[in-house]
């Protein structure tokens, strides 16, 4: 159909291209198919699932970073449960921390017990000062930490971890992502935790579900079933005027409506004739990149009693470390264990080493998680250019420009990287459903005249 010509009045004939077969793209596609649209999903990988996929190697299963389902949304709980035929574990989260040679219960701010006396004293005194001093304006995440946790704890713990995990200074971050993710303790909690070990949990994830087998990726089935999937289709060019797509494999396709879950900087870079101001804004959106280090070893004991842990020390490149066989024994062969360590980088903090794998192994040994005598059965790294959307101070202004342009062109964005938000798997699924609903509403609102963009 030539550009600008009306689409058929019967919307079930409108064809929708969905870019990206992660949870959000698949959810959008599933929902649109249910409404009667002709939907094609285009995915660059040779598999569906995006970040929710689980990789297998040497009998081990590794998710793309530790993935657990802690959704409170009943509809997503049901959807995921159905995908694995009810075969999942539901357990209390076990989390721990490593700080300068000490193992600290989680969260560290309410578990100072056992740390050197001078550290505990400084943290307590500063906590009292911040709580009972003049309230200060919260301009950024650094202010939030100083006001909520006190200067000593912030500088010795949170700021160090922030530079590793978020790859930037806390003062370069806003606070709109924090929500329940960081516990802001009361004075009583801090004092109790300084005097004796605490059993009360303050992590925002207390209980979670994880499939019995196949890793987190087994949940992807919830939205992947029955889809028209075009795998190995990396979108290279999007022509919004003509309604056409070109792929790296040399093929092309047309569409009447477009839903995209691609990372916004990638999408914008592929759209034909994008205004320079929009291209500039998209290029300034920042995401952390992740090098995952996946290790399989010939023992299943001698690990911390935790599903995952945080390493605060800045002289150690690892930020979060998890133990996949603790999530499900099926993630490792019998008698063997697995470690997954995360090393983050971005334009703000480039990788400190050219050999991440070797450095990670050395740092795991420093903490005592790996021993020189260990028989390492598998050691590999996986690079993820898009990990966590960075809520740096420029994010909102640039995002408004990019989303404004895409909305004007009738492109429906969804998912963690389409909405450019701190979305968990449940949010991403819901975001896909939402994009489908919006698209349908738009078409229903003008059923007689639906034109190509």
Ligand X SMILES: Cc1cc2nc3c(=O)[nH]c(=O)nc-3n(C[C@H](O)[C@H](O)[C@H](O)COP(=O)(O)OP(=O)(O)OC[C@H]3O[C@@H](n4cnc5c(N)ncnc54)[C@H](O)[C@@H]3O)c2cc1C
| Interface stretch with ligand X, choices 29-37, 48-56, 190-198, 353-361 (CB under 6 A) | 48-56
Piece of the chain touching ligand X by CB under 6 A; list 333-341, 359-367, 422-430, 440-448? 422-430
Distance CA 203, CA 282 (A): 33
54 binds ligand X (CB under 6 A): no
Contact between 211 and ligand X (CB under 6 A)? no
| Nearest distance from C-beta of residue 149 to ligand X, angstroms | 24
Residue 396, CA distances (Å) to 174, 264, 285, 402 in order: 10, 13, 9, 10
| C-alpha span between 318 and 259 (Å, rounded) | 36
Measure the CA–CA gap between 401 and 415, rounded to whole angstroms.
Answer: 18
Using DSSP's 3-state secondary structure scheme, residue 138 falls into coil
Would you state the structure tokens that stand for residue 77, as one six-digit string? 């709980």
DSSP 250: S
Rounded CA-CA distance 161/310 in Å is 8
Query: Position of tokens 């998680």?
Result: 369
The angle formed by the CA atoms of residues 32, 421 and 175, to the nearest 5 degrees, is 150
Alpha-carbon dihedral 156, 157, 163, 165, rounded to 10 degrees: 160
Rounded-to-5 percentages of helix, strand, coil across the chain: 35, 25, 40
Q: Residue 229, CB half-sphere, CA atoms under 13 Å: how many?
A: 22
Q: Please report whether residue 43 would count as binding ligand X according to CB under 6 A.
A: yes
Query: Contact between 219 and ligand X (CB under 6 A)?
Result: no
Kindly state the number of chain residues that form the binding site for ligand X, as judged by CB under 6 A.
34
Based on CB atoms, which residue is closest to ligand X, 198 or 425? 425
Report the 10 Å Cβ neighbour count for 258: 24
- Cis peptide, bond prior to residue 107, ω within 30 of zero: yes
Q: Does 398 bind ligand X (CB under 6 A)?
A: no
Using CB under 6 A, which of 261, 289, 331, 340 touches ligand X? 261
H or E element, residue 67:
none
Closest to ligand X by CB, 138 vs 178, is 178
Q: Is residue 67 a contact point for ligand X (CB under 6 A)?
A: yes
Please state the closest distance from residue 136 (CB atom) to ligand X, in A. Answer: 32
- Asked whether position 422 contacts ligand X by CB under 6 A, the answer is no
- Which one, 255 or 417, has the nearer CB to ligand X? 417
Residues in 278-307 that interact with ligand X by CB under 6 A = 290
Q: Does 193 bind ligand X (CB under 6 A)?
A: no
**d(C-alpha 7, C-alpha 13), whole Å:** 8
Q: Interacting stretch for ligand X, rule CB under 6 A, among 64-72, 307-315, 372-380, 402-410? A: 64-72
Considering the complex, state which of residue 69 and residue 111 has its C-beta at the smaller distance from ligand X: 69
Q: Does 266 bind ligand X (CB under 6 A)?
A: yes
Residue numbers 88-107 binding ligand X by CB under 6 A: none
Q: Is 215 in the site for ligand X (CB under 6 A)?
A: no
CA distance 251 to 240: 17
Q: How far is the CB of 264 from ligand X (least distance, A)?
A: 11
Is residue 415 a contact residue for ligand X (CB under 6 A)?
yes
Query: Smallest distance from the beta carbon of 387 to ligand X, in angstroms?
Result: 4
CA atoms of 298 and 373, how far apart (whole Å): 10
Residue 50 in contact with ligand X, rule: CB under 6 A: yes
Applying CB under 6 A, among 61, 97, 428, 440 the residue interacting with ligand X is 428
Report how many helices (DSSP H) and strands (DSSP E) the chain contains, helices first.
15, 19
19 binds ligand X (CB under 6 A): yes
21 binds ligand X (CB under 6 A): yes
Q: Which is nearer to ligand X, 127 or 420 (CB)?
A: 420
Q: Does 234 bind ligand X (CB under 6 A)?
A: yes
Residue 260 and residue 345: Cα distance in Å, rounded? 25
- Closer CB to ligand X, residue 39 or residue 68? 68
Q: Is 24 in the site for ligand X (CB under 6 A)?
A: yes
Q: Which of 14, 18, 25, 344 binds ligand X (CB under 6 A)?
A: 25
The set of residues, in sequence order, having a beta carbon less than 8 Å from that of 384 and lying 6+ positions away, is 51, 64, 65, 289, 290, 291, 292
Question: Least Å distance between CB 392 and ligand X?
Answer: 17
Stretch in the footprint of ligand X (CB under 6 A) among 60-68, 80-88, 162-170, 402-410: 60-68
Judged by CB under 6 A, the residue of 7, 14, 18, 22 near ligand X is 22
Pick the closer one to ligand X by CB: 154 or 221. Answer: 221
Does 324 interact with ligand X (rule: CB under 6 A)? no
Cα–Cα nearest to 350, from 321, 325, 317, 326: 317
Is the CB of residue 7 less than 8 Å from the CB of residue 450? yes
H or E stretch at 248: none
416 counts as binding ligand X under rule CB under 6 A: yes
| Nearest-angstrom CA–CA distance, 366 and 344 | 19
Query: What residues line the site for ligand X (CB under 6 A)?
Result: 19-25, 42-45, 50-52, 65-69, 234-235, 261-262, 266, 290, 387, 415-417, 423-426, 428
């Amino acid at each position: 159909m030539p550009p600008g010509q009306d689409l058929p009045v019967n919307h079930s004939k409108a064809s929708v291209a969905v870019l990206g077969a992660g949870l959000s793209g698949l959810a959008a596609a599933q929902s649109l198919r249910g409404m009667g649209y002709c939907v094609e999903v285009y995915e660059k990988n040779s598999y569906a699932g995006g970040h929710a996929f689980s990789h297998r190697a040497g009998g081990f299963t590794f998710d793309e970073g530790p993935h657990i389902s802690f959704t409170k949304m009943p509809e997503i709980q049901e959807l995921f449960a159905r995908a694995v035929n009810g075969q999942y574990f539901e357990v209390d989260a076990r989390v721990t921390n490593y700080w300068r040679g000490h193992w600290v219960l989680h969260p560290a701010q309410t578990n100072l017990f056992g740390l050197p006396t001078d550290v505990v004293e400084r943290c307590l005194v500063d906590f009292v000062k911040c709580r009972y001093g003049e309230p200060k304006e919260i301009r950024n995440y650094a202010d939030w930490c100083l006001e909520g946790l006190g200067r000593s704890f912030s500088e010795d713990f949170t700021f160090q971890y922030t530079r590793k995990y978020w790859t930037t200074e806390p003062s370069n971050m806003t606070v709109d992502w924090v929500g329940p993710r960081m516990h802001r303790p009361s004075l009583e909690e801090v004092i109790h935790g300084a005097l004796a070990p605490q059993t009360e949990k303050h992590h925002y994830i207390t209980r979670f579900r994880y499939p019995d087998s196949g890793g987190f990726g087994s949940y992807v089935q919830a939205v992947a079933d029955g889809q028209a999937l075009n795998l190995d289709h990396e979108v290279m060019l999007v022509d919004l005027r003509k309604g056409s797509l070109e792929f790296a494999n040399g093929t092309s396709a047309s569409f009447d409506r477009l839903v995209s879950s691609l990372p916004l900087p990638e999408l914008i870079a592929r759209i034909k004739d994008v205004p320079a101001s929009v291209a500039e804004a998209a290029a300034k959106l920042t995401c952390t990149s992740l090098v995952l280090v996946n290790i399989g070893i010939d023992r299943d004991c001698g690990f911390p009693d935790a599903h995952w842990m945080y390493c605060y020390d800045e002289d150690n490149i690892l930020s979060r470390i998890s133990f996949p066989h603790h999530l499900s024994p099926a993630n490792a062969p019998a008698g063997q264990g697995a470690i997954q360590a995360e090393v983050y980088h971005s334009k703000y903090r480039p990788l400190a080493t050219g050999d991440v794998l070797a450095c990670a192994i050395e740092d795991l040994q420093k903490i005592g998680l790996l021993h020189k005598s260990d028989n390492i059965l598998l050691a590999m790294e996986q690079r993820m250019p898009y990990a966590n959307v960075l809520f740096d101070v420029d994010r909102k202004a640039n995002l408004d420009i990019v989303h404004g342009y895409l909305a004007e062109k009738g492109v429906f964005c969804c998912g963690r990287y389409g909405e450019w938000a701190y979305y968990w798997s449940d949010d991403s699924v819901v975001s896909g459903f939402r994009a489908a609903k919006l698209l349908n509403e738009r078409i229903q609102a003008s059923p007689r005249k639906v034109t190509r963009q």
